[in-house]
Structure 1
Amino acid sequence: MDTDIAGDVFAALASPVRRELTALLLDGPRPVNDLASHFHMSRPSVSEHLKVLRDAGLVSERRNGRQRIYRLEAEPLRELSEWLTPYERFWREKLSELRKLLDEEDE
């Protein structure tokens, strides 16, 4: 994964609001008004969060009349997951070593 793209994805997901928006979109595309109804903020504020997600490639937008419909684009998340895999293995091995050490102390 390109480190600039990874940085954009990490930055976009740094906000709890944007993480919640991506979670809401797991069920399928939704209009911005539906998404905004889940938050105690104005619709324009939610739209700003959606713009950050869109700029990071995490959501796409289409117009249906006057409505804007947002859809989750999971490809950047898959790429990020692949990028994180070596670190996951690293920590899994470290925790396994710690478990073995603690088991030896218990004996």
Structure 2
Amino acid sequence: MGMKYVAAYLMAVLAGNDSPSAADLKKILGSVEAEYDEAIAEKLVSELAGKTVHEIVKEGKEKIKAFGGSGGGGAAPTAGAGGAAPAGGAAKAEKKVVVEEEEEEDVDFDLFG
């Protein structure tokens, strides 16, 4: 299911519509000229019928906790992490660029007066 349908559903709820219909989703998606599939919208609306957004979010949080243990994903490895030293055994020194700040000049006019 496309996330744009879920986003449109949540936007409708945030706008005050506690039970958006497929027509509401079509109107929201049409306003940004997004493609619309009636079957997907109807499926989403039928699956969420009778539930509040707060219940759905709470259920989702519980599923995430159960799935990952801690609920967070691992960090992506950095470039060169765990790799061997470059040829010659010497680590490549990083070049540091020093940027000198220009001194502010005294200006003889007042911007607001």
Asked which structure has the greater CA Rg, the reply is: 2
TM tier relative to shorter chain: 0.3 to 0.5
